[in-house]
Amino acid sequence: MIIKGGRIIDPLSKRDEVLDIKIEDGKIVEIAKDIEASSDKEEIIDARGKIVVPGLIDVHVHFRDPGQTHKEDLVTGSQAAIAGGFTSVVQMANTSPKIDSKEKIIEHYKRARDLPLKVFTVSALTKNFGDLELVDMEENFKRGALAFTDDGIPNRNSKLILEAMNRAKELGAIISFHEEDPELIEQNGINHSEVSDKLGIYGSPKIAETSFIARDVAMAIYTGAKISIQHISTGLGVDLVKFGKEMGANIYAEVTPHHIALNDSAVLEYGSLAKMNPPLRSEEDRLRIIEGLKEGTIEIIATDHAPHTAEEKSKEITKAPSGIIGLETSFSICYENLVLTKEISLMKLIELMSTNPARIYGLEGGEISQGKTADLAIIDLESEYTIDKYKSKSSNTPFKDKTLRGEVLYTISEGKIVFKK
């Protein structure tokens, strides 16, 4: 296969150049101008006027498999991912049953073997998310768990977290944290603000997030463990992460496309489709998050793809579940709200969505270079499109029916075309 005339955007080499890419046996074997086909059977992809980027990597998705496959499963989640340009994703452990043992991790990888992209898994941090007993971290890490997290159920057992950080440091593993203190929240998924006042509810105050971030930043400084703050939503949270980094801690942070694009006023327009944990916050918080991306405090954009049925989301807002899907719209939402607004460069966006996740989580990918696996996406930045029907089983998103800019045309995983528009 030869990809002809695409504009290669590769953050690792800082390459931004129109070149051809030759692929053989799943690997990139040549990057140059005017590569000639070796035979008339060689597949040619015309990428002129398009960008060619490393396959996107999402380190935070919920495929609901096993246990809630009426919302999503490994197959449909994978189809949504490749339609969004992703070649690697990491499933969270809040399935039913929880992914908290070596047997469940092994079973996941058996089932993921034939999917069109690499679907990794994390391990739960505590057994059955009980916050009482740590999983066998050493064994689960050995079996392929990329990180440890009870995402969805914030950890309150500080003594246990301290032990977990010390064990994770020995392993060189990441612990990622869902930072919301449930004791401070009356209704989750909606920011405590003028918006919640208009809805006649209290909601979720910012201190629910920032108090837990402060705790875990302090523990990371103390232990030297590598931690990630998931789906950060508050400006003060960004400042706390920045402080931890300045103190020498191994702290990373991720943010979702929806926290980049929207503030809490979206709840008044979209109702439960704009309800998620943590909630959309103020415009001031949104702008500080963007500054956090620009300054390097936040290194990862991850979707927190969270499918729910239309029936569930049609309930009144206090009873509807939190979460939105994001894999199929992620690149476009970030491109429109970060690159077209001149907040960051296109190169920086690909770094946040591919190169950094690969580097931080120790994954192959995130680069376009000779000898490396051909995990690539080809994107038309000029194309405007609307998703009529999602590849996901669910369509719970405030971006539904929106005209989007920057369409994924091809996703190539290990040298094979797995998605073509």
DSSP letters along 296-361, please? Answer: TS--EE---B----HHHHTS-TTTSPP----TTTHHHHHIIIIITTTSS-HHHHHIIIIIHHHHHH
Q: Per the annotation, does 231 bind a ligand? A: yes
Residue found under tokens 């990794």: 120
User: Is position 151 annotated in a ligand binding site?
Assistant: yes
Specify whether the CB–CB gap between 307 and 394 falls below 8 A. Answer: yes
CA–CA separation, 334 and 314 (whole Å): 27
Report helix, strand or coil for 93. Answer: coil
Place of tokens 């590849």: 391
Annotated binding residue 108: no
192 has binding-site annotation = no
HSE-CB of 167 using CA atoms within 13 angstroms:
19
**What's the helix, strand, coil split of the chain in %, to 5?**
35, 25, 45
Catalytic machinery residues: 304
62 Cβ neighbours under 8 A, 6+ residues apart: 72, 91, 92, 94, 304, 305, 306, 307, 323
Rounded to whole angstroms, how far apart are CA atoms 320 and 94?
A: 18
Q: Does the annotation list 62 as a binding residue?
A: yes
Say if residue 263 carries a ligand binding annotation. no
Half-sphere exposure of 320 (CA within 13 A, CB side): 25
Q: Rounded distance, CA 248 to CA 242, Å?
A: 10
- Token couple for 391: 């590849």
Q: Is 70 annotated as a binding residue?
A: no
140 is in an annotated binding site: no
| 308 known ligand binder | yes
Of 378, 404, 384, 381, nearest in space to 326 by CA: 404
- Alpha-carbon distance 188 to 33, whole Å? 54
Length of the chain: 421
Q: Which residue ranges are tagged as binding site? A: 60, 62-64, 94, 151, 178, 231, 277, 304, 308
Q: Which residues are annotated as a binding site for Zn(2+)?
A: 60, 62, 151, 178, 231, 304
Residues in binding site for substrate: 62-64, 94, 277, 308
